[in-house]
Amino acid sequence: MAKIAIFDYGAGNLFSLKSALERNGAESVKIIYDLKDLEKFDGLVLPGVGNFDPAIKSIEGSAEHLDKAIEEGKPVMGICLGMEMLFERSEEGKLEGLKILDGDVMMLPKGKVKIPHMGWNNLQIIKGDSKFLKGVRDNSWVYFVHSYRAVPKNRSLVVATSDYGVSVPAVVEKGNLIGVQFHPEKSGDVGALMLRNFIEMCDDKKEAK
């Protein structure tokens, strides 16, 4: 059974995410404040609460441990802000992103759509072989709360999109690195299935050691 860490940027209550992971099969879930002991866990979640620059400041001191974990294939899931941090830069902040994925994060088009995008929207699944989306049906509904969207340079990373007046990359996947623009912990049965898939990825990696 998987032991999963949630990194806390110091920006909010992570109880709903922690309890959702526990409810869906994680052996234990611990909230951590740096990544120095990441080897003790089978997977990592970068949650979707906070603002870009403060979150980057809180993680940059131990970012080398994140890079190493990703290189070694440890499952990592970035949710909303946690996904946006993986890219090179964001219009939300002045600091550089983690530069794990190539591309920028841009604000949703002002005047064209209501900002923030808050509520349920459906997914268009582009790639059916996604480990994270295993068993998830095309056009499934998930819950969004965001004002920005990722613009990856490598479009092949995008495995699902959502239409909100503009195409939003809803899920990106690179090996065991997952980024989601929505909140699976708030997305009912569909989100629960995704969390179980992520936990299964953690279990598989643990067994492969």
Q: Indicate whether 11 pLDDT > 80.
A: no
Q: What is the CATH number of the domain that holds 9?
A: 3.40.50.880
In this prediction, residues 165-171 reach a mean pLDDT of 97
Question: What is the pLDDT, as a whole number, of residue 13?
Answer: 78
Question: Which of 186, 203, 180 lies closest to 43, judged by CA?
Answer: 203
Average pLDDT score, the chain: 95
Question: What is the pLDDT, as a whole number, of residue 99?
Answer: 97
Q: How far apart are the first and last CA of the chain?
A: 14
Distances (CA, A) of 1 to 47, 88, 132: 21, 34, 17
What residues act catalytically?
Answer: 80, 183, 185
pTM (2 d.p.)? 0.96
Question: Which residue range is the domain that position 192 belongs to?
Answer: 3-208
User: What tokens does 12 get?
Assistant: 């909010």
In this prediction, residues 78-99 reach a mean pLDDT of 97
Do 123 and 136 touch, CB atoms closer than 8 A? yes
Q: Is 91 helix (H, G, I), strand (E, B) or coil?
A: coil
Question: What is the pLDDT, as a whole number, of residue 191?
Answer: 98
Domain count, the chain: 1
Strand order in the sheet with 103-107: 89-90, 103-107, 148-152
In this prediction, residues 180-208 reach a mean pLDDT of 94
Q: Indicate whether 197 pLDDT > 80.
A: yes
Question: What is the pLDDT, as a whole number, of residue 199?
Answer: 98
pLDDT category at 209 given cuts 50, 70, 90 is: low
Q: Indicate whether 53 pLDDT > 90.
A: yes
